[in-house]
Amino acid sequence: MADHQVLAGAHVVLPTGTVENGRVIVDGDRIAGSAPENAPVLDLTGHWLVPGFVDMHNHGGGGASFTSGTVDEVLKGVHTHRLHGTTTVVASFVTGEMDFLTQRAGLLSELAEQGEIAGLHFEGPFISPCRKGAHDETLLRDPDPAEVRKLIDAARGRAKMVTLATELPGGLDSVRLLAEHGVIAAIGHTDATYEQTQAAIDAGATVATHLYNAMPALGHRAPGPIAALLEDERITVELINDGTHLHPAALELAFHHAGPERVAFITDAMDAAGFGDGRYMLGPLAVEVKDSVARLVEGGSIAGSTLTLDRAFQRAATVDGLPVEAVVQAISANPARLLGVYDRVGSLEPGKDADIVVLDADFTLKGVMRKGEWIVDPTADTTA
């Protein structure tokens, strides 16, 4: 018989709502529906139990880059985010030479096959030079469907998402290609009009890459992509809830128009997440991190974030005042559905992986379980 654990007494957030004085039963690496009478019980009274976080847009952490790090460095970055509750992570690449990106895709697809990461996300090179953000303009290119196909083939079935400026030549055909291959086409780093964005959605795009950032602002005569992305029920909008990328009113606007079922909290984290201030490289570009805000050394553009999803959760539930159930949707369930892994992760239901985060009454992280193993032990004395 597999080992059982009963996590009892907590506020348990389920897809149907929050259960007070609830319990979650762990059987080996899965959540179970019942336990033997003599199963050990961990009293978590006063805490919250929520599903492990799912980050579908993450460039690294712990000093390691998913774009350029060795396998061991990538695993270090993945582990850093696990310590902060992210039990499922997609490795995102910044813009690079095509040959380099295909090589990286082949390398990291092995980690996806091993279950260490949930897949790959190509953020570039098919983005607009007008909205390049922290991407090297000399490496940008139009989204030629043949080159898009080259990248997803190199990922050996592990490509999960490609961000592209769909208004560029080849953009709509590339969206259709991605949709045909079951890869998320994400609209981002774009200078598209409202009408061009609508056309991309009709072609099969389903995600807005970090809504508001790296796209035209909402205008009353030229509403641009933001209005089109918020109003269309086929689109899930990514939000970076770190207090730097978004004003609280912008986050509230997104939740009001899209609803909690169409929001995905992401980190867009770079190497410095969970590591500290200093100088870093984001692809070929130098980044200065000061007071936890990452900016390009040349030009000062925001260069990803140093966010971890436990901080995003706490901010959403306290500063932004969102219902805990809505935060869980945005940080676990919605990205799991988009990635096609909701049958295994994203909620605390029997049969799913035992990926669980323990939060205290102030929504501070106290425990992390991944596949039945404690990565952060909620019983550990952190004051010693």
Amino acid 320 reads: D
For 65, counting Cβ atoms within 10 Å of its Cβ (0-12 exposed, 13-18 middle, 19+ buried), the class is buried
Count how many Cα atoms sit within 13 Å of the Cα of residue 204 in the half-sphere of its side chain: 19
SS3 334: helix
Contacts of 328 (CB under 8 A, 6+ apart): 13, 50, 51
The number of helices, as runs of H, and strands, as runs of E, in the chain is: 10, 21
Going by the DSSP 8-state scheme, the letter that residue 84 receives in this structure is T
Count how many Cα atoms sit within 13 Å of the Cα of residue 144 in the half-sphere of its side chain: 7
Phi, psi angles (nearest 5°) of residue 151: -65, -45
Catalytic one of 232, 268, 271, 320 = 268
Q: How far apart are CA 32 and CA 234, in angstroms?
A: 33
Give the rounded distance of the alpha carbon of 125 from its chain centre.
Answer: 19
Per the annotation, the verdict on 268 as an active-site residue is yes
Count how many Cα atoms sit within 13 Å of the Cα of residue 263 in the half-sphere of its side chain: 25
**Active-site residue set:** 268
